[in-house]
Chain A
Amino acid sequence: TQLLEQSPQFLSIQEGENLTVYCNSSSVFSSLQWYRQEPGEGPVLLVTVVTGGEVKKLKRLTFQFGDARKDSSLHITAAQPGDTGLYLCAVLFGNEKLTFGTGTRLTIIP
């Protein structure tokens, strides 16, 4: 059983469109992180959300932590080819154990 379920698994859209990807769990977390991973590289941290209902913006990316701290979403406005990559959500247990979801592989078509 996967602790963090991400959906959709794959998403391919045209440049300029908007999209939302999701990270869901039945567990409550103190914080949640989103990473982007490009081919041939390791994941890179985008944001950490810690408060239920929290919304954080990173240019065209909007991250939201659910009120109950069980889920999160990532919304991208006016997607660009540079947004292509694998988007991973992750939760930190203590200070050491980072557990990842299976990821959403996003392709933006020029």
Chain B
Amino acid sequence: NAGVTQTPKFQVLKTGQSMTLQCAQDMNHEYMSWYRQDPGMGLRLIHYSVGAGITDQGEVPNGYNVSRSTTEDFPLRLLSAAPSQTSVYFCASSYMTGSGNTIYFGEGSWLTVV
């Protein structure tokens, strides 16, 4: 079982460069989301999607774009990387089942912007 797969695991970018973090899930989950985790800040929601073709903003969306063309994939795009986007990024997915949701996280992508 692959679960939630994120690539790349590690990436170093120069300020102003763009890149895409890939996320794929093989559980046919409707809901997918992206979080960033910074020391002392916990995990903060960047963008989320409740199904193919539908995306919405989370708590910290600025500087990031997403799309959901298929149920399986939810890529996160950094348009023009800034040092403030240095963080660990987690993709997550779940069924839309209400308060008893089990949300599955990927293993994370470590991004450094220099």
Contact = CB atoms under 8 A, between A and B. Distances in A.
The CB with the most chain B CB atoms within 10 A, among A2, A30, A40, is that of: A40
Given A42-B90, A102-B41, A96 B103 contact: no
B73 interface: no
A88 interface: yes
**Binding site secondary structure of chain A:** loop
B98 A43 contact: no
B58 interface: yes
B103 A31 contact: no
Contact of B42 (A45, A95, A100): A100
A92 interface: yes
A102 B103 CA distance: 18
Interface residues of B, number: 30
A42 B105 contact: yes
Interface string A36-55: 00001111110010100000
B106 A95 contact: no
Contact of A96 (B31, B40, B104): B31
Nearest to A9: B40
A98 B103 contact: yes
A42 B31 contact: no
Contacts of B19: none
B33 interface: yes
Nearest to A2: B42
A97 B59 CA distance: 9
B99 interface: yes
A75 to B, nearest CB: 21
B43 A92 contact: no
A103 B44 CA distance: 12
Contact of B98 (A42, A95, A100): A95
A97 B48 contact: yes
B96 A98 contact: no
Contacts of B50: 95-96
B75 interface: no
Nearest to A95: B96
Interface of A: 2, 4, 30-31, 40-45, 48, 50, 88, 92, 95-103
